[in-house]
Amino acid sequence: MAGMFAIILTVATLFTGILWFLEKFKWRPARQRQVEQVRKQTDGKIDGNVLAQVAKPKNWIDSLASLFPVLCFVFIIRSFIYEPFQIPSGSMMPTLLVGDFIAVEKFAYGLKDPITNTTIIPTGHPKRGDVVVFKYPGNPSIDYIKRVVGLPGDKVVYNPDTKELSIYPACQADEANCDNNAVASLDLSYTPVEQSDWMQVFAKNQSNFYTQGQFADKRASLDRSARALTLNTRSETLGEHQHQILAWPMVIYKSSDFHKQNNGLPDGQWIVPQGEYFVMGDNRDNSEDSRFWGFVPEKNLVGRASAIWMSFEKQPNEWPTGIRLSRIGAIN
């Protein structure tokens, strides 16, 4: 959907731009010359309304050409500087909530062709802890948002029992047998586990099976048929970023549940190839990320999520019920 909008915006900008240049540099001068010829032929005695009609452009050309400056401004801002995105799911909670509208720095990791996402001018690379928007490798027409955990060459180890990460930055993509004991891990710090203010809510369907959970604040009133599980939270420091993560209070995954395996490494361990990144959601037990489908190629990066500019109280696929002005601000 986002890719289709980029194509439509590009085509509309190009089309109206052609009309604008033709009108400014060809058609308007031609009409002005015609007005002068008519004035000379009538010795200046012609009605001014007639001259105005001669000088007037066709309505549809004038209307479309007048759109070009606006479309050009939107095209430049959206394609190369900032693009707005809406958060559709809870995979990045509590950092990002459903209904948050975010601004994504398109220039953070390179100026790119807005249609093919090909880098035109390199400007930088993601850092550990950056929240990034990218084209999902399994379907590039879909945009995902996750946090960068592993950089190229990193060895990433995830413990599903403790919900903690270990990262060994000195490994290389071709060193499948990188020894944890031989390479120093990054100093990733975690605060003690506490109960969060968020619940995962499950509701019965017609077959009396509980459907996939939504998320609600603990102060929310729930339907009597619903069941809720209070999620745990703790602070994680990853690179320059300190952020909160959410997790279930029990183990729901085993290392063998992670579908993406990596060149003979034990389950739950990955070495990030050169030119690719390992990403995860902050809602650790509710995120489909690199643990399950693999790495993000650098060419798939869209930009860095920098700020929340509007936030609506809502659930997925439902209409907003309020505004959360307190959430407007920078993303950590």
Q: Which tens digit of pLDDT belongs to each residue from 46-63?
A: 666 666 676 677 778 888
- Of 46-50, 110-114, 194-198, 261-265, the range with the lowest mean pLDDT is 46-50
What's the pLDDT at 34?
Answer: 75
Distance CA 165, CA 180 (A): 13
Same domain, 151 and 272: yes
Asked if 189 is an active-site residue, the reply is no
Q: What percent of the chain has pLDDT over 70?
A: 90
> Which pLDDT band, with edges at 50, 70 and 90, does 172 fall under?
low
> Which pLDDT band, with edges at 50, 70 and 90, does 328 fall under?
very high
Same domain, 137 and 61: no
Distance CA 110, CA 99 (A): 28
Of residues 91, 196, 290, 311, which has the active-site annotation? 91
Same domain, 142 and 76: no
Same domain, 61 and 157: no
Could you read off the pLDDT of 216-255 as tens digits, one per residue?
887 777 777 778 899 999 999 988 889 999 999 999 888 8
Question: Would you say 145 and 304 are in contact if contact means Cβ atoms under 8 Å apart?
Answer: no
Same domain, 264 and 182: yes
Q: Is residue 226 part of a domain?
A: no
Query: Where in the chain does DSSP place strands (E)?
Result: 82-86, 100-105, 111-112, 119-121, 131-135, 143-150, 155-159, 164-168, 189-190, 194-202, 214-217, 227-238, 241-247, 269-271, 276-280, 296-297, 301-313, 322-323, 329-330
Distance CA 98, CA 85 (A): 11
Distance CA 110, CA 303 (A): 8
What's the pLDDT at 227?
Answer: 85
Of residues 146, 155, 163, 314, which has the active-site annotation? 146
Asked if 40 is an active-site residue, the reply is no
Q: Which of 28-37, 154-163, 174-183 has the highest mean pLDDT?
A: 154-163
Q: Is residue 17 part of a domain?
A: yes
What's the pLDDT at 225?
Answer: 73
* Residue ranges making up the domain that contains 262: 131-188+254-330
pTM to 2 decimal places: 0.85
Which of 66, 81, 96 is where one domain is finished?
81
Could you read off the pLDDT of 63-106 as tens digits, one per residue?
888 899 999 999 999 999 999 999 999 999 999 999 999 999 99
Same domain, 169 and 76: no
> Which pLDDT band, with edges at 50, 70 and 90, does 194 fall under?
very high
CATH number at residue 286: 2.10.109.10
- Of 19-33, 126-140, 171-185, the range with the lowest mean pLDDT is 171-185
Same domain, 75 and 166: no
Element (H, E) at 229: strand 227-238
Q: Is residue 54 part of a domain?
A: yes
Element (H, E) at 19: helix 2-22
How many domains does the chain fold into?
Answer: 2
Q: Is the pLDDT of residue 173 over 90?
A: no
